[in-house]
Amino acid sequence: MEFEFKVESDHLRRDGPAVDAAVDKYTSSFWPFGRKQKAHKELKKRLNEIIEKHDIEKDEQLNNTFLRVKGVESKEEAQEVIESFKEDLREFYQEELGLDTPPIELSTEN
């Protein structure tokens, strides 16, 4: 069975809440050229690692991002996977980037 969740917040978007912190963390102010692009690339890599860890598929369509949980038996099981993902994302923002962001907002698509 497969369940899809729509990301309602900016957490996984290019201009998400972690971009400025990623610029400071992953780039040097001594070389100002392309800092935002380099930081975005590293941030995207790290976020994709978290997504893959939970065996979630990310689908981006225009301005919408969907997270698809496959191979689960019930909606409750899919929700458990998503809750674990949300916790890892929160920890990443807090521990890696020093951010206290609001939790990622998701809505159920099916």
Task: State which residues of the chain have pLDDT below 50.
Answer: none
Stated length of the chain: 110
Q: Which two tokens stand for residue 39?
A: 């930081």
Read off the pTM. Answer: 0.87
Q: Taking the CA of residue 47 as centre, how many other CA atoms within 13 Å lie in the half-sphere pointing to its CB?
A: 24
